[in-house]
Structure 1
Amino acid sequence: MTVLVSAAIDEDVEFERVWLDDASWVDVARGWLVGPDAVHSALLDRARWRQNKLWRYDHWVEEPRMGAPARHGFGEPLHPVIPKLHRALEHRFGVALSGPGVALYRDGNDGVAFHRDRDLRWLDDTLIAIVSLGQRRPWHLRPGANRFAHDLQNKGATHDISPASGDLLVMGGRCQVGWEHSVPHVRHPIGPRISLQWRWTSRRGHPVRGPSYRAPRNFSR
């Protein structure tokens, strides 16, 4: 039986807002979660991790990270602090969030390329909140204008948040319209990182067209 060590929210932590442009921002709260290593250990031990696969043109590709449901067994949260995080985020930002999603980056070989969260469909006004647990590693943002600037350092990234264990970052406004984010691969040996993610969209504006990240991709005919 796993003994769950307590963790808590630091109510006095400072939120720093980084404006990416006139309508896109990222809030960063360093050390928002107190006792993050206990939550990290509990999730590593208790989550039902699975390897997702994506269909890409003519074959299946393993996604370079793992995912898991946020609850264990009969609806029990993986750690009792997770519902508290959810409620605190909803209270601060005044919206009803979906989630959390849970992702595991096992080592430096795992990562996710630059992307927008198109699955939200309505991107004009969104929130994506991420609590990082475990290994600190790069977490990049770049403007959409740099998407094809392959000669630029870090593939055109202009910001590196690099959240440590227990840090919270929140992308808001039009961030999913004009900006992309990534967790780049790391060449040197590093330990596992887990992210908890919550999402919200205002459903205002025009929904994006085209397939989502997880949709199958096939050759044109």
Structure 2
Amino acid sequence: MFERYAIFYTPPPGPFADFCASWLGWDNKAGRKCVHPQIADLDVAKLTLAPRKYGIHGTLKAPFRLAKGTMQSQLEQATAQLAGTIPAFRLDGLSLKHHRGFLALRPRGNATTLNAVAQHIVEALDDFRAPAPPAELARRRQANLSERQEENLTTWGYPYVSDDFHFHLTLSGRIDPGLGADVTDALAPHLLPLVPRPFPIGQITLMGEDSDGMFHEIHRYDLAG
């Protein structure tokens, strides 16, 4: 049914999720385009073009093609079973930062549990991942990967896992530092009052990428507890 699959954190329905969908221009739960908010002096459509296809999300297991001999229904069942073994947890909160060249919400405080959960998901569902095609590997390697990241790419199909994993909810494409500071200042009063604090992680979401490259929620799975 879909070209690729992924495991994301996506916020549950509510004002935070609604604003983020509008900001990015894509509601990955409803599978529809959204009207951008009007924020003075910001070209929101241009700023959010690159991450739009994903909708609001935090990657836990990066997009992958299904391995030969596996089916979506099997992936759904495995994800449901896995979610039931992971206790729900909380982050201290999320901070809005321009870092690594783009704007994102990033964890406040200790993220040890989050990082461990993400790596567990990467490993537990890896039998469903087909090897990445050579063109995708070549594209990843253009980022000047470290030796460890190259090993991650070879082993898991994605360089930014384990010690190189940095959870974030992407809010822009690449923007220069000066503009990043201006966008942060303009966006913060609209977004930050909607961000829960502490920030609960009580579900994971199985996502599918359609033939147009847009990501859709397939199912949300409650974590244990």
Which TM-score band applies after superposition, normalised by the shorter structure?
under 0.3
TM value normalised by structure 1: 0.27
Greater relative contact order (Cα 8 A, min sep 6): structure 1 or 2? 2
Structure number with higher strand proportion? 1
TM value normalised by structure 2: 0.26
Structure number with higher helix proportion? 2
